[in-house]
Structure 1
Amino acid sequence: MSGVPLLQTQQENTSINPVQTNEHRSLYRAALHYDPANDYSTDSSVAIGPMNVVCIHCKALKFKNETSGLCCASGKVKLIKLNSPPEPLRSLVAGSQSSSKHFLENIQAYNSCFHMTSFGATHIIRDNFMPTFKVQGQIYHRAGSLLPVSDAEHTFLQIYFMGDSNLEANQRCFHYINTKKEIVQQLQTKLHKNNELIKLFKTALERMTSDNHKILIRADKTPVGEHSRRFNAPTFDDVAVVIVGENLQSRDIVLHRRSNELQRVSETHRCYDALQYPLLFWQGEDGYHFTIKMISPLTDEETNKMVSSMNFYSYRMMVRENDENHILKCRKLFHRYAVDMYKVSVFVRCQMIPDFSLQRLTSGRIKNIDLIFSTDLVPCAESV
C-alpha cells in the first residue's frame, strides 16, 4: 500500500508528545488518529519481520526479537508430541470440508457438546462483536457424577453413558442448537473409540457395584515403567481406583457413581485440560502437573528441576518445523484455551508464595514485585 510517509504525517500532528523517543514517536497515539492513507507497515516498530528464527533445540519458529528460551527453556523442556486428530476432525479444522466454515465458526459449541466438566468464571465479558474471549477474576472447572440422579437429565460427562448413540447425539444437539447432528455423531464415535479418559470412566462404571462407590483419579500418577515424555494409553489401575470412603488427596478428582454434588477440578490436575477441551486433546492426553521434570539439553536425561506451568503451555502453543499443531488450528476454541491456561499459570505462580509473603504484599511492605501477581489481589481482565 502506498501513501503519505507515516513519519511526516505524524510530525505534523501537534498531539505528539515531545518527550517520546524517536523510535516510538511516529506511532505515539496513532490509534487515536488512524489515517488509512498512511502506510503503517513500513514503520520498524510494526514490521516485526517473518517467523524465520528456528530454535536449535525444539525447532520452534519465532520472530527475530522473541526471547530465545520462550519455546523450550533453551532445550530444558521436552513434552509429549500431540498426535494429529483422526477424520473428520482433522479435515474440519483444516478447512478442507464443505462444512468446515460452519464447524470453525461454532467450534466452541461443538467442544461444549463433548466436554466432561462445566466451565465457569467470576465474570465472562461478552461485548457485542468482540472477537476475543475475555474473563475477569477466577476460572473454575467442575465435575459431576458419572450417572444422573433419579428423574434428572444427562449432562456433561453423563451423556457418554446413555447407552444409545442416537439418544446421546440428540441430547448434545438439544443443548447446543448451532450444531449439526451429523457432525456431532461423527465426532462422538471417534471420541468413544480414541479418548482414554472416556474408556477409563466406562471401566469405572463396570466396577462400581453401588452408588456408594466413587472413582478416584490421581493427580500426578505416572504409569509405571513408561517414559514420562511419551504418551501411552494407561491401564485403569495405573491412574485410577474405585473406592468407598474418603481415602483421597486434595488435588485428586473423586467422582461419585450417582450424585447431585459437583467437585471443583484442581488447576494442577493432569486431566484438567482434557476434560474441558476434548476436541483439542482427543486422546485424553495429560495437561500440566507438578511432576514433569526438565531435561539436560546435552544428555536428554531428566534433572531434578520441574517444568513450570508457563514453560509447559509456552511449549504447547509454539509453531514448529514439519509439525502440525492441531491446537493452533482451532481458532476461537484455541483463544478460550489460551485464556484458561494463562489463568492456570497465574494460579500456580501464586501457589508458590508463602502465606507471610502474601500478607506482606497486601500490607504494602513489599514494593516493585513483578515476579508473581494474582487476580485476587489485582482485579483485571485478561484476553487473547
Structure 2
Amino acid sequence: MLPNSGYLYYSVDASVDIRASVAATARSRRSTPRNNSSYPIQSTDPAQCRQKRRKLLKQHCLVWGGAASAYSATLECAQFDDDFVEALKVSYPGRSYHGPPTQQCSNCKAIFWNAESVGKEARTSSGSPIYNKCCKGGQIVIPPFLPRPEPLASMARFDGGSVSKKFMKNIRRYNCLFAFSSMGANIDRTMNDGRGPPVFKICGQIHHRIGSLIPPHGRPPKFIQLYVYDTSAEVGNRIASLEREDTIASDLDPTIVQSLVNMLDEHNLFAKQFRMARDRLAGNDTEDFVIRIVGPKNGDPPQYSLPATDQLAMLVVGDFSCEEFERDIIVQKQTGDLDQISALHPAFMALQYPLLFPYAERGWQTGVLYTGATQSAQNAHVKLTMQDYYCYMFHYRRNEPNPYLCYGPLSTQANVDAWACVDENRLKYIMDHQADIRMESIQGICDAISRGSEQGSEVGKMIVLPASYTGGRRYMIQNYHDGIAICREYGPPDFFVTFTCNPKWLEISEAIFEPGQTPADRNDIIVRVFNIKLEELLHDIRCGKPFGPSNAGIIIYRQKNHSFYLHPFVYYLF
C-alpha cells in the first residue's frame, strides 16, 4: 500500500518517465557504491545529492503501479501538484482496497478480512481461509448472549427515533444510575471538547468497589443502596446521585429511568436479590444478613455457560465466616467501608454495567480449560486466559447481540475497562514471579549505594518490570539501544516514514453492519483495518521493488486521540 499524497525535498527535471527511471535505478543500484548518486542530479554537494535522490525514490514509490503510473507529473516544485495527487486518489482502490469483511470463522462465526487470515495459502478442509484470533481455531466456546429485553432492545439503536437518540447520547449516565458497583479511576475529561468523537481516557489503575446495603447515617444512597434504601422516591434519588461532572448538560428522562427500573427488576438476578433484601429489611430492620455473590472454586465449570439461577447470588442470614466465602463478594448490611471487587471474579463486569448485561451474565473466570484440552504437566498452556476471552468478545458476529461493540460510548468504556483488567492481570503475574526474572541482581546494598541511597529505609524490595512488558522502562530502554546499535552500524536512516490511520477508509465504513453506527463507535474495526494496511505498507517497503533491498529498520508505534501513527526508520544500500 502506498501513500495518497506527500511532500518532496528535492527537484528533478520537469518530466520523468517513471517506468524507465525505475529500470535505470535498478540497474545503477547494482553497480553504484552507496555514497554515489545514480541519478542525473546536477550538484556536487553530497548532502544535496542524497536529498534529491531520496525525493526521486519517493516519487517512484507513490506511482509504482495502477492508474497513477501512466500519469507524468510536473516535479519542479517542492510539493506534488493537485492533478498528480488526484490521480493517486483515483487509483487508490486498485492499489490498496480490501473490501468489506466477507470471510467468516467456521467455528465461532466471527467475520474477518481475507488479509487477516493465517497464511495466505492455508485453507480449511472446506476451502475457506483460516483465522484464529477470535476462538483459536475452535478451542474457545462461549455461548452467545440472549436477545436484549425491552425497552433496552428498542432504545439501544443507532437508527431509532428521538427516544433512542436521547438514550444513546446519555447511555453512560443511564448505566451509572443503575450500576451496582462504583468505578474508581482518574478520568481525563478535557479531551471531550466537542471537536472530535467522544473519548474515554483514564490514567492509572481502575478500581471497582461495592458498599453496604444501607448508607451510613446522614449520607445519601448511592449505587447498590439505591435498590434497597428509600425506593419510594427511587427515580429522583437515582438522578440526584450522579456526580456534578455527569449531570452537566445531561438530559435524563425520568420516564426512561422508570422503564429501566422495571426491566432490571424483572430480568436482572442481582436486582432481584437486592429487592429481596429491601423487603426483608422492611419486615425486620434488626435482622443481620448479607448478600453473597458466589465466586467459582477450583474445578467448577465456567459460570458463563450456566443458566441464570438464584444459586449464584443468595441472601445469607445469621452468622457466617468470611474465610469460608473468600472467593465470593460479600455485601454487608451496613458499614462505612467499600470493598474492592477482584477483576478475577466472573461478576466483575456485570456489577458495573447492568445495561450491557441486563441478565447479570457472568464473564471470564480462572481455571477454564480450552475445549478438548486436558491438564498435564507437559502442556501448561491449556487454560483460557483473560486476553483470550476478551479477544473472543471483541469480534462481531451477525445477528448476535454484543455488549462490547453495539452500545456506543458505553461499549467504549467497557472496552477500556476490560483491557485495563488484562493489563492488571499481566502486572499481577509479573509481581508474583519476580524470582523468575533474577530480582536479586538489582536489589543488593551495593546497587542501592550506587544509586545514591544513604538511609536504610531507602533499601527495600522493588517490583521490576521486565523488557517484555510493553511500555515499561526496560522495554523503552531496550528499543532505544536497538535503534542506536542500528545507527552505529548503518548510519542515519535513509527514510523516515509516518503512516497514520484514516477513519474514512472504505473498509471501515463497509465493515459497520449495525444501522446508524459510525467509525467512532467501532474502534475495533479501525484498529484491524490499520493493521491490515500497516502490514501491506511494510511489505511494500521490504519487498525491494520500490526502493531496493533494505539492510535494517526499526518501527515505532504510538496512538494519539483515536489516531494511530507508525514511524518506520528504513536503511537502504545505494
TM-score range, shorter chain: 0.7 to 0.9
Q: For residues 57-78 of structure 1, what are the alpha-carbon distances to aligned partners after superposition, in whole Å with 9 as ceiling and x for unaligned?
A: 1110012233621111110111
- Cα distance between partner residues in 2 of 1:362 and 1:173: 55
Match of 2:236 in 1: 170
Match of 1:86 in 2: 149
Match of 2:413 in 1: 336
Offset at residue 203 of structure 1 (A): 4.0
The reply to whether residue 54 of structure 1 matches residue 104 of structure 2 is yes
In 1, are the aligned partners of 2:235 and 2:258 still within 8 Å (CA)? Answer: yes
In structure 2, relative to structure 1, the CA distance for the partners of 1:238 and 1:356 (3 Å cut) is same
Offset at residue 241 of structure 1 (A): 4.5
In structure 2, relative to structure 1, the CA distance for the partners of 1:137 and 1:238 (3 Å cut) is closer
- Cα distance between partner residues in 1 of 2:156 and 2:52: 45
Please report the TM-score for the alignment, with normalisation by the length of structure 1. 0.79
In 1, are the aligned partners of 2:226 and 2:234 still within 8 Å (CA)? Answer: yes
The reply to whether residue 232 of structure 1 matches residue 282 of structure 2 is no
Q: For residues 156-181 of structure 1, what are the alpha-carbon distances to aligned partners after superposition, in whole Å with 9 as ceiling and x for unaligned?
A: 0110123635x111111223453110
Q: For residues 184-203 of structure 1, what are the alpha-carbon distances to aligned partners after superposition, in whole Å with 9 as ceiling and x for unaligned?
A: 10011000110011223344
The reply to whether residue 39 of structure 1 matches residue 89 of structure 2 is yes
Higher relative contact order (CA 8 A, sep 6+): 1
Structure with higher Rg: it is 2
Offset at residue 327 of structure 1 (A): 3.8
Matched position secondary structure for 1:39 = helix
Q: For residues 97-118 of structure 1, what are the alpha-carbon distances to aligned partners after superposition, in whole Å with 9 as ceiling and x for unaligned?
A: 4311111111101111111111
Which letter does structure 2 place at the counterpart of 1:99?
V
Match of 2:295 in 1: 219
Offset at residue 132 of structure 1 (A): 1.8
Match of 1:134 in 2: 201
The reply to whether residue 98 of structure 1 matches residue 175 of structure 2 is no
Given candidates 6, 10, 13, the residue that maps to 1:10 is 6
Match of 1:118 in 2: 182
In structure 2, relative to structure 1, the CA distance for the partners of 1:202 and 1:248 (3 Å cut) is farther
Please report the TM-score for the alignment, with normalisation by the length of structure 2. 0.55
The number of residues matched between the two structures is 363
- Cα distance between partner residues in 2 of 1:325 and 1:117: 22
Q: For residues 207-242 of structure 1, what are the alpha-carbon distances to aligned partners after superposition, in whole Å with 9 as ceiling and x for unaligned?
A: 997575433323225998x88553412224776755
Unaligned runs of 5+ in 2: 11-50, 64-79, 118-130, 376-381, 444-463, 477-557, 563-574
Residues 161-200 of structure 1 aligned to structure 2 (within 5 Å): 161-162=228-229, 164=231, 167-174=233-240, 175=242, 176=247, 177-200=250-273
- Cα distance between partner residues in 2 of 1:74 and 1:360: 38
Match of 1:278 in 2: 354
Matched position secondary structure for 1:120 = strand
In 2, are the aligned partners of 1:350 and 1:374 still within 8 Å (CA)? Answer: no
Matched position secondary structure for 2:235 = helix
In 2, are the aligned partners of 1:148 and 1:259 still within 8 Å (CA)? Answer: yes
Match of 1:325 in 2: 402
- Cα distance between partner residues in 2 of 1:229 and 1:293: 13
In 1, are the aligned partners of 2:293 and 2:312 still within 8 Å (CA)? Answer: no
In structure 2, relative to structure 1, the CA distance for the partners of 1:260 and 1:279 (3 Å cut) is same
Unaligned runs of 5+ in 1: 1-5, 28-32, 297-301
- Cα distance between partner residues in 1 of 2:328 and 2:472: 24
Offset at residue 303 of structure 1 (A): 4.0
Offset at residue 263 of structure 1 (A): 0.8
- Cα distance between partner residues in 2 of 1:279 and 1:60: 24
Match of 1:107 in 2: 171
- Cα distance between partner residues in 2 of 1:186 and 1:16: 68
- Cα distance between partner residues in 2 of 1:362 and 1:123: 37
Match of 2:435 in 1: 356
In structure 2, relative to structure 1, the CA distance for the partners of 1:368 and 1:158 (3 Å cut) is closer
Match of 1:291 in 2: 367
Matched position secondary structure for 2:370 = strand
Offset at residue 367 of structure 1 (A): 10
Bigger shift: residues 138-147 or 314-323: 314-323
Bigger shift: residues 354-363 or 71-80: 354-363
- Cα distance between partner residues in 1 of 2:473 and 2:207: 14
- Cα distance between partner residues in 1 of 2:351 and 2:203: 22
- Cα distance between partner residues in 2 of 1:121 and 1:375: 21
In 2, are the aligned partners of 1:145 and 1:262 still within 8 Å (CA)? Answer: yes
In structure 2, relative to structure 1, the CA distance for the partners of 1:324 and 1:214 (3 Å cut) is closer
Structure (1 or 2) with the greater helix fraction: 2
- Cα distance between partner residues in 2 of 1:383 and 1:199: 41
Q: Share of identical aligned residues, percent?
A: 25
